[in-house]
């Protein structure tokens, strides 16, 4: 099925903020199934803004969110941001796109690294973008996403 | 940055095991993902997704496990 989604905003807003979409980050289906079998409940996650960032090698979220949603820590990763390299926690998570007809990702490793922006809490990095085709139309303010997974 | 780099890594034991075996594993499992909980090595997997599934299946929700890609040089991911 051709999953083509258009993010539409004004050319000025697209230039100012970049392509932003709502994401829901939560636990993987395997964790949810395991939790259900032992009667455990995870905190309910809420949608927040994510920036599609071709400059990010991996997907990043604010550390507070990883803690709040009790995501599963799977090891440290080295990240270079703003010219500085440090180790940050990596978590396993599922990512979905609640207000878009866009296929989610059941298991993604995301890195908890502080983000300065007040308008978004996640960078969608090239680990996710490797499955998408992106068309950025600055003149119309539209960004088109096509999921290439079969 | 201290809040993102805990001095007491809950997977420190698993990392020590990885460091001790890394050279040996690099020969046979280069670029694969190893799953380790405590002193137990669950196995080697072609990607993070299958490693995570195997980890949950083997250790459940309560036991922590490390997923580590076996690399000669540790990768550094850049965010511009």
* pTM of structure: 0.92
Helices (H), chain B: 12-29, 48-59
Nearest CA in chain A to B73: A78
Could you give the percent of chain B with pLDDT greater than 70? 91
**Residue A50 is encoded by which pair of tokens?**
């994510």
Question: pLDDT tens-digit profile of A34-78?
Answer: 999 989 999 999 999 999 999 999 999 999 999 999 999 999 999
Question: pLDDT tens-digit profile of A6-26?
Answer: 999 999 999 999 999 999 999
User: In the prediction, which pLDDT does B3 show?
Assistant: 38
Across the interface, of A40, A107, A111, the residue whose CB is closest to B61 is A40
At CB < 8 Å, which residues of chain B contact A? 1, 3-6, 9-11, 14-15, 48-49, 52-53, 55-57, 60-61, 64-68, 74-80
All residues of chain B having their beta carbon less than 8 Å from the beta carbon of residue A31 are 56, 61
User: In the prediction, which pLDDT does B4 show?
Assistant: 39
User: In the prediction, which pLDDT does B7 show?
Assistant: 52
User: In the prediction, which pLDDT does B8 show?
Assistant: 77
Residues B67, A74: C-beta atoms closer than 8 Å: yes
Nearest CA in chain B to A105: B49
Question: pLDDT tens-digit profile of B10-50?
Answer: 999 999 999 999 999 999 999 999 999 999 999 999 999 99
User: In the prediction, which pLDDT does A77 show?
Assistant: 95
3 state DSSP class of A113: coil
On the question of pLDDT at B68 being above 90, the answer is yes
Q: How many CA atoms lie within 13 A of A74 on its CB side?
A: 27
CB B57 within 8 A of CB B31: no
Residues B48, A109: C-beta atoms closer than 8 Å: yes
Q: How far is A128 from chain B (nearest CA, A)?
A: 13
On the question of pLDDT at B6 being above 50, the answer is no
Distances (CA, A) of A33 to A41, A42, A107, A130, B60: 11, 11, 14, 28, 10
Could you give the percent of chain A with pLDDT greater than 70? 99
Q: How confident is the model at residue A150 (pLDDT cuts 50, 70, 90)?
A: confident
Which residues contact residue B73 at a Cβ distance below 8 angstroms, ignoring those fewer than 6 apart?
none
At CB < 8 Å, which residues of chain A contact B? 28, 30-31, 34-35, 38, 40, 53, 55-58, 60, 63, 73-81, 84-90, 92, 106-107, 109, 111-114, 123, 125
This complex has an ipTM of 0.90
On the question of pLDDT at A109 being above 80, the answer is yes
């Amino acid at each position: 099925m051709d999953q083509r989604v258009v993010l539409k905003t004004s050319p000025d807003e697209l230039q100012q903020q970049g392509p932003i979409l709502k994401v829901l980050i939560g636990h993987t289906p395997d964790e949810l199934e395991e939790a259900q079998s032992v009667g455990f409940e995870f905190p309910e996650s809420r949608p927040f803004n994510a920036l599609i960032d071709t400059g990010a090698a991996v997907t990043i979220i604010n550390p507070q969110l990883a803690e709040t949603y009790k995501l599963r820590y799977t090891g440290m990763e080295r990240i270079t941001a703003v010219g500085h390299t440090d180790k940050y926690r990596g978590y396993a998570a599922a990512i979905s796109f609640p207000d878009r007809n866009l296929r989610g990702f059941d298991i993604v490793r995301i890195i908890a690294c502080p983000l300065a922006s007040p308008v978004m809490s996640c960078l969608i990095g090239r680990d996710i973008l490797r499955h998408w085709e992106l068309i950025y139309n600055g003149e119309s303010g539209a960004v088109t996403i096509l999921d290439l997974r079969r | 940055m201290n809040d993102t780099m805990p001095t007491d890594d809950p997977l420190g034991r698993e990392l020590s095991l990885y460091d001790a075996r890394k050279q040996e594993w690099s020969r046979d499992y280069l670029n694969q993902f190893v799953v380790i909980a405590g002193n137990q090595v669950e196995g080697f997997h072609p990607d993070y997704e299958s490693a995570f599934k195997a980890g949950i299946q083997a250790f459940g929700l309560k036991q922590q496990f490390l997923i580590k890609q076996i690399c000669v040089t540790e990768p550094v991911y850049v965010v511009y």
